Structure 1
Amino acid sequence: MIVKITYDDQRLDMFDTSTFTAALPLGKGNMLTNFEVRFDRLGEGGLWLAAHSYQACGEHEEEDDDIPVARRTKGWSFLLSSAEELEHVELVVVDGEAIIKRVLGRLIDLQSFDEAAYECKGTSSAGLHARIAELYEYMQAISGEDSPSIPGVDKETVAACVRAHAKAQAESDKESEQDWGDVDEVGW
């Protein structure tokens, strides 16, 4: 797994889990490594990566002719970006997929947002701000709530995107009306 963190000062941190510095960081018996990028703990001191192992050596459970089981063993946690550094994070990408993005000054969880947007609206080529506003409008219609929550996006960012989208839509509608007026003047 490759984790890239871009900061507002154009600094780029890159972490590559395939190249541990120790030859066998999780022991000789490690047959499978489980990596967790912990976005749910951003408020608890930063962005963390946890590495857990599945040890396949030593004792194993034997029940009749069942296959031996390697159970997960909690491993190490690595601080990728401290709480202070998070104030300057612009983008977090995991294996080429944007997972966290700063939008209008706030970090949003793109993974949670994208899952909800896809479930409700399908795919879209609209920009992120427009997609946030569109999902908000859809969630209003389906839930009947005046101010529904949007997964991964705080209410202030949602409100700003909705206002900007409404303004852009009104300007676009006004331009369309003007264009139709021009057509009528030339005798169409």
Structure 2
Amino acid sequence: MAFLAIVLSANSCKKNEASETKIDFTQSYEDAALTLSNAQKKYDQAVASNDPVRIEAAKQELQAAQTKYVESKKVYVAQGGTVKAEYENYSSTATQPLGTQASNTVKNIVRGKDSLITGKVSAAVENRANAVQKQVNDEKTRITQETKKKVADVKASADKTKEDFKKSAEETKKSANEEINKAKQSLNSLLGK
């Protein structure tokens, strides 16, 4: 009788372990399906944002969630679980963006072939180039104006020096002529003329 009680107790434990195992696999399967659904939503939001970095990250997350779901489903079914149609819809929905066409689109975006990226990059480069060109032009204009002012100042100074020299030469000549005239007059008066 005691032996029978031990055997029944052991069988009961085995049944509990089996049911606990099945519950664990069920929970794992449901968690994987939920993760896949959330990853699909994130991917859809990323695509709507047109942000290639965000799209690629969401795609990677979606691929990982899809792989986890498939693995979890295989174990769940092997343990006697029944696949839920709702979860299979998650899987088929997730498979569509992971196809080659979507993959190539994301690759093109990431590579910069998409006009959205190249347009933003080109605009940023062009804006920076325009800003640098404006700085160069402003600096050239400033240097040209300063150079013209310095040339004008030097010319004005040279003209003033020339004018001063001319005045000085005229005054010197006038003074010399006056001295010569005085000397002639003095000589004429000495000679009696």
Larger radius of gyration: 2
Identify, as 1 or 2, the structure richer in helix. Answer: 2
The higher relative CO (CA closer than 8 Å, separation ≥ 6) is in: 2
Structure with higher strand content: 1
TM-score, normalized by length of structure 1?
Answer: 0.27
Q: Under a length normalisation based on structure 2, what TM-score does the superposition of the two structures give?
A: 0.26
